[in-house]
Amino acid sequence: MAISDVSEFLASRKNIAGSACGLAGLALTFTGVAGPYWPVVVAGLYGAGALTAPPERPAPPGFPDPSARLGELRADFEQLRGYLREVDVPPVAAARIGEIDELLGALLDPGWAAELLAQDPEALHALGRAVRQDVPEAVDTYARTRWWTRITPGQEQPERHLDRQLALVQEELTSVAAALRETEARRQESHTRYLEERGR
């Protein structure tokens, strides 16, 4: 048996409960109750204590804290900003990207909005999907499709798809912001009701 196994057993609930019962057996021995069979009494009480002790529970998995996930998302957002500064997009798409950037920046800015966001896994997931997948994929697909359109003219313009995709992302992010605002509004109304009821 390895030293780590021995130290785990010594710190286990079974050993602690068995030792407590074994000490009770020693107390019985010193008072003369156990008589000549004191080793059997002590061992029996130790075994009974070890058997009745609650089983060891494995530690729950250590998933990342929501605030840590928010920090990672902020770092990814900064990466996305750097990428978008280098990509050439039409003026209409650039304006929409600016609006999305402003919205994401406000939602991810450290403060009360970020605290509220950290408590809403669905909203956090929606923002992560927009930053890590939706926006970069829309822009990258546009850049690649535009190149093919130049050598095979007459196809549907990729700008239309880019603008529609960005509009859908912006719409989803606006919904997230509205839902967070609604959460705060409900909280405010709840506090008003509490104060009104307390004053009666």
Q: Which two tokens stand for residue 70?
A: 């928010």
Within a domain: residue 170?
yes
What amino acid occupies position 11? A
Q: Is residue 85 part of a domain?
A: yes
Is residue 17 one of the residues assigned to a domain?
yes
Q: Name the band, by pLDDT with cuts 50, 70 and 90, for residue 34.
A: low
Token couple for 190: 């709840």
Examine the domain organization and report whether 22 and 107 are in the same domain. Answer: no
Token pair, residue 137, equals 């994929």
CA distance 21 to 150: 85
> Taking a C-beta distance cutoff of 8 angstroms, is the pair 90, 142 a contact?
no
108 lies in the same domain as 160: yes
CA separation for the pair 74, 109 (Å, rounded)? 8
Domain range holding 13? 3-52
Q: How far is CA 147 from CA 86, 151, 163, in A?
A: 16, 7, 17
For residue 58, is it within any domain? Answer: no
pTM of the predicted model as reported, rounded to 2 decimal places: 0.64
CA 41, CA 30: separation in Å to the nearest integer? Answer: 12
46-59 residue pLDDT tens:
777 777 776 667 77
Q: Tell me whether residue 57 is in a domain.
A: no
Q: pLDDT by residue (tens digit) across 60-102? A: 776 666 667 888 899 999 999 999 999 999 999 999 999 999 9
Answer whether residue 32 is part of any domain.
yes
Q: Which two tokens stand for residue 34?
A: 């156990």
Nearest alpha-carbon partner for 35 in 24, 25, 49, 45: 25
* Average pLDDT score over residue span 29-42: 73
pLDDT of residue 9: 64
Task: Please name the helix (run of DSSP H) or strand (run of DSSP E) that holds residue 11, with its range, or none.
Answer: none
Count the domains in the chain.
2
Do 24 and 117 lie in one domain? The reply is no
